[in-house]
Chains A and B, each alone.
Chain A
Amino acid sequence: MEAKKLIVSASPHIHARTTTRGIMLNVCAALLPAILAGTLVFGARVLLVTGVTVAACVGFEALYCVLMKKPVPVGDFSAVVTGLILAMNLPATIPLWIAIIGAFVAIVVAKQLFGGLGFNFANPALLGRIVLSVGFAGRMTAYAFPATDVDALASATPLAAGVRGLDILPKLLVGAHGGVIGETCALALILGGVYLIVSGIISAAIPVSYLGTVALLSLVLGQDVLLQLLSGGLLLGAFFMATDYVTSPFTFKGRVVYGACLGVITCLIRFFGNMAEGVSFALLLMNLMVPYINDLTRQKPLGGVRSK
């Protein structure tokens, strides 16, 4: 063997196939059924809104990084995921310029100003949605009517209309009712969520504890369990927003606690607050609690006692 230059590096010398980009692309794939369902229910404008929101998110990320002379990280697809989730949170009737403002808030204010991927204190898409729903309350609740169903509920979501869940169960499952683009079709959301869990991208701990807590509290407080679970932003929030890595706890224990707290706050807002919907603010509040939850639910190392 001849003398030659060898690469010398610290162990380990092999790495798992999972990459950040792969994870983000999987999340995009998991969102596709909901986007498709939204398009079928609300019409082709859904695609326009989604496309513009995603393009704006990627564009703002690239622009910011170029201006700040940082490497442009759009290849990791995290901005695409943010754009898709933000679009899911907008009604199909939203003016495009409002969607672009949402993208700015999500990418520049919530994400890049705090240091970019991994440093945002709250879910960027969530912050975008909250800013828009506070700033443009009317436009944000101008829900489209399902394009196919003349019997559809009026302007309000089922949660605000106060109907019985069992009576409209098929409508809830296919999403044939008023709401934002990505939250109405329960089947598509559950399909995407199960895909993420099965492919190991997210742990089941957060969605299960979140949905379980909401179901339990609804039952105890005499609310309509099916309606509470299947309508509003709960499924979208539980599967796609609460499970955002950066803003959720690390350990299994932490994730169960986090999901349960989300459930409690969501129910408190829904049942006792003056808003029909509580998922967004529950998520925002709990995003801020994550560092404390991490502190309190850290796993105990093997042999974590000092020998005498």
Chain B
Amino acid sequence: MLSKWKRSALGANVPHDKSTANMATVTMPLPEKIILPMQQHIGAPCTPTVKKGDAVLVGTVVGAAGGFVSAAIHSGVSGTVEAVDTVLMSNGRKVPAVIIRPDGRQTPDPACVPPQVTDHKSLIAAVQACGLVGLGGAGFPSAVKLSPKDLSAIDTLVINGAECEPYITSDNREFLECSESLMRGIAAVKQHLGIQRVVIGLERNKPEAIDLMFSLVKNDADYTVLPLASRYPQGAEKMLIEKATGREVPRGGLPSDVGVIVMNVTTASTLGKYLTTGMPLVKKRLTVDGDAIGSPKNVEVIIGTPIADVLDFCGVKDDVSKILMGGPMMGTAVVDPAAPVIKQNNALVAFGPQLASLPAPGACIRCGSCINACPMGLSPVEIAGAFNRCDTDALDALMVDLCIGCGTCSFVCPAKRPVTQTMNLAKGAMMKAKNGGKK
């Protein structure tokens, strides 16, 4: 009651639809070609290091990191570079890409050997060589995240296994199938960054994974397994930090400002795999689900595989009307299914005509549902009002820049208004006004 007085932050009861939670991951056959866009992360795009006709092996670097805030891109197949071309990404952007035709032999690159990690610096080098990015969906280069300004101020590593989007179970499978690599990855980060405490947060709708984690950490006082309410958006970074540590990430600040680093479970586990095998990030588990998918499953896909191939493998139906990269709350609608799967994808959701259609918006009835649901404690209806009257000072006072775009406000709106879109536009307008006309 007292916390409600300050901020209700109810979130939303989204449907779970996690029918694939108990399905072991299956490996997809080799695609005919893979497309590797040079931008699979937040930050500077990569530079292609191969040209048409070059032979590549599994794990060969094909895109060199374009700076510190960037992440190298590797081939997931052995074969021949067919072209270095510009492709249309599923988000509608055009980026250079390396297109590789596999030879079917899947010969690993002899350069891929387990790294020597002895301290923070060598760990960061290993993370860079792995091409690791935040695999929960954001795609932020992990090497940057693991290099905070003041390393001594970091006292908590939070492992994000909340996986609060409907349908998606790929992180759940990561817990169950790769717990050893996960613990190794966590231990490496903990040791070389000198972090005292590890909190592993998972939603209660993953009882098996919770039990497994409890059994793995029971003798170590530094580790805490934190079962969380299954409520969207439990896995949003700032919400998770508040649940795990009680700390609030300040406006405009980073988790490291409150002594926390958050890593997605698959990211930590991928690091663990790299430390023993030396094979960089070239494969990804995807949950493929939705009412237009004949046989929903968790699939291990080589990064760069065209979306259409993955959907065909899972028996996509003829009436598919919308394809989402990611979950239905924050996922991006795919424009062209010929676009490839990229590093930070964790799901493909395909909807038939009924689920794909949007409800017609009605008048706002000022019920306050968006305000009471907003996990950040913002006031979407008032922000929409300020945006409509172009009052950027009011938008600043209402702190629209804190919006994480989680979609909860649109989801709960009984009038079916596109509240989240308005929040995004308002955020843009406020930023533009603050930066003197520049966005």
Contact = CB atoms under 8 A, between A and B. Distances in A.
Interface stretch (A91-99, A248-256, A277-285): A248-256
Interface stretch (A1-9, A169-177, A260-268): A1-9
B12 interface: yes
B357 A20 contact: no
A307 to B, nearest CB: 4
Which label, helix, strand, loop or mixed, suits the secondary structure of the A interface? Answer: loop
Interface of A: 1, 3-4, 6-16, 18-20, 22-23, 73, 76, 78, 116-118, 245-246, 249-253, 294, 298-307
Contacts of A250: 366, 368, 371-372, 379, 381-382
B251 A251 contact: no
B414 A22 contact: yes
Nearest to B373: A16
A302 B324 contact: no
B66 interface: no
Nearest to B353: A7
Contacts of A78: 365
Contacts of B402: 301-304
Contacts of B398: 298
Interface string B408-430: 10111111101011001000000
Given A250-B371, A301-B7, A304-B251, A294 B411 contact: no
Contact of A18 (B334, B368, B414): B414
Contacts of B330: 11-12
Interface in B1-56: 4-9, 12-15
Contacts of B363: 20, 73, 76, 116-118
B6 A15 contact: no
Contacts of B253: 303, 307
Nearest to B381: A250
B328 A117 contact: no
B371 A303 contact: no
B414 A6 contact: no
Contact of B12 (A6, A16, A302): A16
Q: When A and B form their complex, which 3 residue pairs have the shortest distance between CB atoms, in order from nearest?
A: A12-B407, A307-B253, A250-B368
Given A1-B312, A7-B356, A13-B324, A19 B377 contact: no
B407 A11 contact: yes
B95 interface: no
Nearest to B307: A1
B377 A302 contact: yes
Contacts of B358: 7, 9
B246 to A, nearest CB: 12
Contact of B7 (A1, A19, A294, A302): A302
Contact of B6 (A11, A14, A245, A299): A299
Contact of B331 (A13, A22, A304): A13
Interface string B354-381: 0111110011111111011001111101
B238 A302 contact: yes
Residue with the greatest number of chain B CB neighbours at <10 A, chosen from A3, A249, A298:
A298
Interface in B222-281: 238-239, 242, 248-253, 257
Contacts of A73: 362-363
B368 A6 contact: no
Nearest to A297: B5
A75 to B, nearest CB: 9
Interface stretch (B156-164, B295-303, B315-323): B315-323
Given A1-B311, A252-B5, A302 B329 contact: no
B359 A20 contact: no
B153 interface: no
Contacts of A3: 336-338
Nearest to A308: B250
B308 interface: yes
Contacts of B382: 250, 294, 298
A300 B330 CA distance: 24
B376 A14 contact: no
B251 A14 contact: no
B122 interface: no
B362 A7 contact: no
Nearest to A1: B308
B166 A16 contact: no
Given A8-B335, A12-B328, A303 B251 contact: yes
Contacts of B367: 23, 245
Interface in B117-154: none
B362 A14 contact: no
Contacts of A14: 14-15, 166, 328-329, 355, 411
B412 A251 contact: no
A1 B316 contact: yes
B175 interface: no
B252 A307 contact: yes
Given A6-B323, A19-B414, A301 B378 contact: yes
A10 B336 CA distance: 15
A302 B410 contact: no
Nearest to A5: B321
20 contacts: A1-B316, A1-B320, A6-B333, A7-B333, A8-B335, A9-B358, A10-B420, A11-B328, A11-B405, A13-B351, A14-B15, A14-B329, A16-B13, A19-B359, A117-B363, A251-B371, A251-B372, A299-B377, A304-B377, A307-B251
A9 B15 CA distance: 20
